[in-house]
Amino acid sequence: MSLKEKMPLLARHEGVWDGVYTYFNDKDEMIDQHKSRLLCRIMDDDAEYPYHQTNHYTWDDGRTDIRDFPATYRDGRVWWDNELIVGWASAVDLDEYNRTMMLYWQRTGDPSLYLYEMIQISDDGQSRCRTWHWIRDGKLETRTVIQETFVTKDWRKIDAEMAAKAA
């Protein structure tokens, strides 16, 4: 059984997404905002990492950052374990509308900080909204709000175009 069959809601997220991340501190003051392009890939069934997400971030002042998140699959979840995060993602089975995924992860090397994320995808698959709650020592430290628009299912083409620009 393929990852798309095992996690059909995750399969709806496959492709390229453009968005804006907005960060708020515990006093609801905006502390950061930047644009994003995410490549959400479901790989071939025999791949070491059946899910692989790459996030490209761009700030108005010209700064950029790229973060790579290959993930394994087991027990109904995709799992990350890399130099940045350790955690998982899964569909929320209680959502009878099949729109909601939940993620949990912890910063590698910082056991006092963990994060929960909820992702809601629109019924037509053309937009999604995400919220992150960053919790340190049991208290809310940061909240991240993300609005995204679907660009294309063809992440391979976009991946190749972005690699050619970087070369």
pLDDT, tens digit (0-9, with 9 covering 90-100), for 119-166: 999 999 999 999 999 999 999 999 999 999 999 999 999 999 988 988
Distance CA 101, CA 121 (A): 9
8-state DSSP, 7: -
Per-residue confidence (pLDDT) for residue 79, from 0 to 100 = 97
6: Cβ contacts below 8 Å, ≥ 6 apart: 73, 76
Phi and psi torsions of 158, nearest 5° = -65, -40
pTM for the whole structure: 0.95
Would you say 127 and 148 are in contact if contact means Cβ atoms under 8 Å apart? yes
pLDDT, tens digit (0-9, with 9 covering 90-100), for 85-128: 999 999 999 999 999 999 999 999 898 999 999 999 999 999 99
Give Dmax over CA atoms of the chain in angstroms: 46
Per-residue confidence (pLDDT) for residue 166, from 0 to 100 = 81
pLDDT, tens digit (0-9, with 9 covering 90-100), for 16-72: 999 999 999 999 999 999 999 999 999 988 889 999 999 999 999 999 999 999 999
> What are the structural domains, with CATH classification, of the chain?
3-166 (2.40.128.20)
